[in-house]
Amino acid sequence: MYQYLSYRIFDINDSLIATVNAVDSTGPPGTFGLVSCPNLPPISNIAVNTTSSCSGLIQFTDMSANNPTSWFWDFGDGNTDTVQNPVHSYTTTGVYTVSLISTNSSGADTLVFNNYLSINLGANYPITPSCTPQTQDGSLGFGITNVNLANLNRSSGDAAEGYSDFTCDSTFLYLGSSYTIDVTHGFPTFHQCAAWIDFNNDGVFDNSTEQIAYSLSSLATNNNFLVPSNAVLNVPLRMRVWADYDLGSQLDPCNDPLFGQVEDYTIYILQNTAPPSADFSSDVNYTCNGEVAFTDLSTNAPYQWEWDFGDGTSSIAQFPTHIYQTDGIYDVKLITANPFGSDTLTKSSYVEVATANALISTNCSPNTLGYCCNYGINKVIFNTILNPSSGAEEGYKDFSCEYQTTVTAGNSYPLIITTGTDNPQDTKAWLDYDNNGIFDSSELLFEEYNTYNPNVSITIPTNTVYNTPLRLRVSSDEVGNGFGACDDLFRGQVEDYGVIINEPILSIDENVMGEFKVYPNPTNDLVTVESAKSPFSTIVIYSLLGKQIAFFDVGLIDQYTLDTKQISAGSYLIEITDDNGFSAVQTLVIQ
């Protein structure tokens, strides 16, 4: 007994051309046949070299399946053609619908692309740029595959196309308005990317005033930007988009990408006739030195600004830096105006000044030399400090004013550092115990090598400066750097924090009670109190100002578990006391 087997043969367009019928190995030899299949009706499809043109010349390519034998193209301008892959020249500016009817002996199929082509024969181009970067090696799949800004949405091939001049593609932006640019560069791995608009139309891209987007290592770049009020109006301006492998060439609008590419587009800036909408931000909201830099974020091109800093002083600068002389909490007001109206915005309790918590300056602020690959510090937890951050893409960060905590000499505290997820890192921390602004070898708290997310216990020494904010430095970098407290890091970063050390609580009471454990600490639920030296009878939780928050009469035991869910998140003191009135105190953090 044998079986018939059937195989189908397709051409390179996936069209069925024949079926092979044969028997299996148990059948009589030579029993097979080649049966031709009737053609299926075609399925029409087309491709073009570009969907927008300033010359009017378009190359059409037939992509239809099932072997059509005739073609009828309608180019939407009253002209037609019957060749398979025509080249057509449009002679009038406009938007055109294109259709293709493909036919074979089994039937026909019609495909219509509505508003498919944009022809702009009278296009004006930006002035010639000062440079035109060329791709060094476009064979690896890097590059820009889509750019989206306002009404501009351009998909393109990768860096195999090299430099691409898309200045025939344009969009309009309004003076003083905010926009988002999205750039896709997702293959084969992370890119560095930036975009610029030549707002002053001098043919040069200025990194400080004309850069509208920037990312050091990502699969896509998106950023909000504000069209400046001094942009040149009503003329074609050049927008440049630059993308390369994140370990490739140095990011610069005139550098040749190693594996990536550059694309140029046209932008028109139009006058905005709307009144301004006031908005602003600042570099800090909590300051220890009183200095705050304000940034005007108002839209619709204001040309007048009046700031009220809440301390009796004012400014008419667009981007003022103000120094508060007195500690306190301040409202900030901004009035903006243009020829079409004005707007006022007040942010209440916007700035807090606390000069008493100022740290002395550090003798160094280490830089990140070449961020990539998600290196850096993503979170630091130490006593009451809990600070998530963005990794080494931000470089050195000084959090020593905004994030401070108070600890007690002689006590131990967990220091938990979350590092990048892609690679193990070397991580170290120092505390400037003598408050001289220098981290020496005796101030190294810990060093962990070739690991993720170090979690260590830090015991605060008693030979230190008390009741003064001291600088805590956390450094984390790629494995093998061998860095010190002041060394620049290859891929990682440095973050600074503030620590105030209180004098140790050393008394007869504490000597009798001895040390006790509180765990987990920090906690957001149950916490266990355990005394190894002497049983205790009461537990009291106090605020840092001494207010009693909770009281527990537990008999006389050496271990007890508390439920803290009803206590607000924050830092507290927890005290245990024995039957003789001897007590001991530790810090408790509730999240």
**Full strand arrangement of the beta sheet holding 94-104:** 52-53, 107-119, 94-104, 70-74, 80-81
Residue 479 has pLDDT above 80, yes or no: yes
Q: Minimal CA–CA distance to 550: which of 570, 520, 533, 534?
A: 570
Nearest-10 Cα torsion for 550, 551, 556, 562: -20
Q: 412-419 and 493-502: which strand pairing?
A: unpaired
Least confident of 34-38, 289-293, 324-328: 34-38
pLDDT in tens, 494-542: 999 999 999 886 443 444 555 688 899 888 889 999 987 788 899 999 8
β-bridge partners, 391: none
Q: How confident is the model at residue 13 (pLDDT cuts 50, 70, 90)?
A: very low
Q: Minimal CA–CA distance to 126: which of 265, 260, 12, 236?
A: 236
Q: How confident is the model at residue 219 (pLDDT cuts 50, 70, 90)?
A: very high
pLDDT of residue 241: 99
pLDDT in tens, 68-106: 999 999 999 999 999 999 999 999 988 899 999 999 999
Q: Minimal CA–CA distance to 211: which of 268, 244, 251, 184?
A: 251
Domains observed in the chain: 4-36 (no CATH), 46-119 (2.60.40.10), 146-270 (2.60.40.2950), 280-357 (2.60.40.10), 377-502 (2.60.40.10), 508-590 (2.60.40.3080)
What does residue 188 show for φ and ψ, rounded to 5 degrees? -85, -5
CB atoms within 10 A of CB 513: 23
Residue 36 has pLDDT above 70, yes or no: no
DSSP string, 60-80: EEE--BS--SEEEEE-SSS-E
β-bridge partners, 44: none
- pLDDT above 90: percentage of residues in the chain: 72
Is pTM beyond 0.75 here?
A: no
Residue 30 has pLDDT above 70, yes or no: no
